[in-house]
Amino acid sequence: MTAVERFPHRLTIITGHYGTGKTEFSVNLALALAAEGAGTALADLDIVNPYFRSRERRELLEKAGVRVIAASQALSEADVPALPAELHALLEDRTVRGVLDVGGDPSGARVLARYRTKILKEDCQLLYLVNACRPEVRTAERSVEYLRAIEAVTGLACTGLVNNTHLCAETTPEVIREGAALAEEASRLTGIPVVCHAAEARFRRQLRDLSLFPIEIRMKKPWE
């Protein structure tokens, strides 16, 4: 299944608990869409104490044909609640596929609330990333509680769950399957479908029974 088929909506909003891997997933999704010929933009809206920032991979993304929307260059290293004016254009330009990388807590997700009216007029999906290795949301009940808090702040309803469970370099197929079980239980509790299981392409053979969205690790820690 292609990325365009798996993620058919024009706008894809990525949210989830801090540390679930939203930025890694967002970068990989934007690159996959662009590789399939879709005019693509990635909006870096993770402005509340982000560990990784999509804009750190601006050169890679732009070389692949992805337009990067972020705070001005002068603010590129600052954690301030300032949103780029270009975001308005992305929401209104229906010729472009947009990936929105949103903050990892209800406060960070609040940036979406001001655009709620515009977003609701568009072909949009809100994906919530599940990561069974994050202590704060390692149970389905806690993960759903956090999801509902984000929905309440943004005024947007989640349309899909993504299992993005990982342990960085220590990730194994068994770890990913733990996340798959968590995602399925969260789906049972909410009625929200599991869209896919994100995992490095090297695990494709061991996880062929899962609906896998293969990724490549793009966001590296400074010492890696």
Q: What is the residue-level pLDDT of the chain in tens, covering all 224 positions?
A: 899 999 999 999 999 988 888 989 999 999 999 999 999 999 988 765 555 566 677 889 999 999 999 854 444 444 445 566 788 889 989 999 999 998 766 666 777 888 888 899 999 999 999 999 999 999 999 999 999 999 998 889 999 999 999 988 889 999 999 999 999 999 999 999 999 999 999 999 999 999 999 999 887 654 34
- The pTM assigned to this predicted structure is 0.89
How much helix, strand and coil, in percent to the nearest 5, is found in the chain?
40, 20, 40
Supply φ then ψ for residue 129, to 5 degrees: -85, 135
Per the CB < 8 A criterion, the answer to whether 33 and 40 are in contact is yes
Alpha carbon distances (Å) from 163 to 3, 69, 92, 99, 132 = 16, 26, 30, 18, 8
3-215 placed in CATH 3.40.50.300: yes
Residue found by looking up tokens 């977003």 in the block: 119
Residue found by looking up tokens 């704060």 in the block: 136
Exposure string for 127-147, b = 16+ CB within 10 A, e = fewer: bbbbbbbbeebbebebbbebb
